[in-house]
Amino acid sequence: MKRTFALVCAILLSLSCAACTASGTDTATAEPSATAAQAEPEETAVEVTADELNVLIRQYMDGGDFENAYLAACKLMELEPNNADAYLAATDALLAINEQNEQEIKRLLAEILTNAPDTAQTVDTWMKDNGMEGAVELPFLPDYSDESEVNTVGNTAGNMTNALRNEYWRGGFVATQAGWVYFSRFTDDYAAIYKMRTDGSELQRVGEAHGYSLNVVGDWLYFINADDESKPYRMRTDGSKLERLADFACSFLTVSGDWAYSDGYGDEGTLCKFKTDGTEQSALTDFTVIDCCAYGDWVYFYRKSTEDGGLLRIGTDGSGMQVVVPDILQCYVISDDVVYYPNPNDPFSIMQCDLDGENKKEIFRADDTVTAMNVIGDTLAVAYGISFEQDGLTLSQAIVMVDLPSGEVTGELKAATEPLCVGEGCLFYTEDGEGMRWHCLNLETGEDIPME
């Protein structure tokens, strides 16, 4: 309201100056029953005393006529320049005028949103520019136009497990739904959450939180809040209605339908299941897990154990736990009921198997060490070669696109990246030489779409 307040002050000061100087050096006069803005002709004017002006100020204030209360206070200041109460009366009147104007502004903004709801973004921008953010509640406008566009699963296993591996593993930096891309931005404000259309248009910040493990299902964006000790949160896809879902910290969060799954539950950091509103929390395992991802009626995860560890899965009801791959993998992808993963025993090889771990076989062999991989449709994206490696951080030299049915390489580009994410027909990768700026590569057209 600072700009509004300044505008009101400027207008009223100019009015008061005009009123106060209109009679030059004459003594201030008025009928006791007349308003301070209405001066009688000079020949019939009666001198107004300070006591009478005080009465007028109280009458105007009590009657809600704050403009005339302000002008009367100006006359009192003219008569008694050392009267502090006169100045305070003027400021009280201005504050009351300001409050009136603020309420009228809110009424007008609400009326705009009622009569023209499509202008919500314009109204939001105006409120932010004028220091009135949150003055009225904006109507929620979903990012999709049809229910058929809504995700049933918040993100893919490939996007969730393509992680940055510095001090901690962090993944799920990109999620997509209905032609929109939601991503954690690394340049400038680290892990600030943004969204844009897949053509690069309408790039905008989503809320004020910082986070990862992004999941989008319908109207809600679920994520781990880096601003609140890595606890699970959700907010609307327009950034409104930020809500904490649980009081425990976690490293991985996955959403499927009306349920969310995460690590970090209880003293052992076990796999937890809870409703997407945070209720009905329960443990699915009695041991620590990492990299949990929901797919169908199963939750896949890693267990660090020499005997029965590796990539495991458990039913969403907590039954039927089994080992899929008996190794901790660099990442894993589940697409069209097939599990893809870099071979932990051969750094050049990428494997596939059935959802239960059966029928393992090699599907692609790179020319150098595989650093990351992901799958979208019939395309396998592989980052390979090592351009940098230190303290667990490994950056690739290049990315190749492979046609899965034929096994043929269909494209290649140079990139020093760590995570590879996919969605909406696009490949998303960071470039270390550009401060970890995201690139969005349209796999059909080959266009590199700006994300900054």
Q: Identify the CATH number of the domain in which residue 317 sits.
A: 2.120.10.30
Asked if 94 and 157 sit in the same domain, the reply is no
Strands (E), 198-269: 204-217, 220-225, 231-236, 243-244, 253-256, 259-265
| 377 domain-assigned | yes
Centroid of chain to Cα 241: 11
Asked if 64 and 170 sit in the same domain, the reply is no
The set of residues, in sequence order, having a beta carbon less than 8 Å from that of 381 and lying 6+ positions away, is 373, 374, 375, 399, 400, 401, 402, 420, 422, 427
Asked if 425 and 299 sit in the same domain, the reply is yes
Cβ pair 313, 322 in contact under 8 A = yes
Asked if 121 and 156 sit in the same domain, the reply is no
Last residue of a domain, one of 71, 94, 129: 129
- Residue 88 backbone dihedrals phi, psi, to 5 degrees: -70, -35
Give the SS3 label for residue 203: coil
Cβ pair 308, 315 in contact under 8 A = no
| 283 domain-assigned | yes
| 142 domain-assigned | no
| 135 domain-assigned | no
Asked if 208 and 65 sit in the same domain, the reply is no
Task: Please report the pLDDT score of residue 190 as a whole number.
Answer: 86
Asked if 225 and 350 sit in the same domain, the reply is yes
Please give the DSSP secondary-structure letter assigned to residue 442.
E
| 412 domain-assigned | yes
| 134 domain-assigned | no
Cα separation, 54 vs 343, in Å, equals: 88
Task: Please report the pLDDT score of residue 45 as a whole number.
Answer: 53
Task: Look at the chain and count its residues.
Answer: 452
Cα separation, 44 vs 47, in Å, equals: 10
Asked if 123 and 197 sit in the same domain, the reply is no
452 residues of the chain, pLDDT tens digit each: 444 434 334 434 444 444 444 333 343 333 444 444 444 444 445 678 999 999 999 999 999 999 999 999 999 999 999 999 999 999 999 999 999 999 999 999 999 988 988 888 789 889 989 999 888 888 888 999 999 999 999 999 999 999 886 666 789 999 999 999 999 999 888 899 999 999 999 999 999 999 999 999 999 999 999 999 999 999 999 999 999 999 999 999 999 999 999 999 988 889 999 999 999 999 999 999 999 999 999 999 999 888 889 999 999 999 999 999 999 999 999 999 999 999 999 999 999 999 999 999 999 999 999 999 999 999 999 999 998 887 667 899 999 999 999 999 999 999 999 899 999 999 999 999 998 999 999 999 999 998 98
The set of residues, in sequence order, having a beta carbon less than 8 Å from that of 24 and lying 6+ positions away, is none
| 165 domain-assigned | yes
Asked if 166 and 306 sit in the same domain, the reply is yes
Classify the C-alpha dihedral 67-68-73-79 as positive or negative. positive
Cα separation, 235 vs 206, in Å, equals: 9
Asked if 122 and 163 sit in the same domain, the reply is no
Cα separation, 372 vs 431, in Å, equals: 14
Strands (E), 276-365: 282-288, 290-295, 298-303, 310-315, 322-325, 333-335, 338-342, 349-354, 361-365
Asked if 187 and 233 sit in the same domain, the reply is yes
Q: What's the longest Cα–Cα distance across the chain?
A: 109
Last residue of a domain, one of 129, 156, 187: 129
Asked if 240 and 358 sit in the same domain, the reply is yes
CA-based nearest residue to 36, from 92, 87, 93, 76: 76
Last residue of a domain, one of 65, 100, 129: 129
CB-based contacts of 37-42 (< 8 A; 24+ apart in sequence): 37/67, 37/68, 37/71
The set of residues, in sequence order, having a beta carbon less than 8 Å from that of 332 and lying 6+ positions away, is 157, 158, 161, 291, 293, 300, 311, 325, 339, 340, 341
| 301 domain-assigned | yes
Where in the sequence is the domain holding 66, given as residue range(s)?
2-129
Asked if 124 and 220 sit in the same domain, the reply is no
Centroid of chain to Cα 411: 33
Tokens 């100045």 belong to which residue? 87
Question: Buried (b) or exposed (e) across 107-130, using 16+ Cβ within 10 A?
Answer: eebeebbeeeeeebeebbebbeee
Report the domain count for the chain: 2
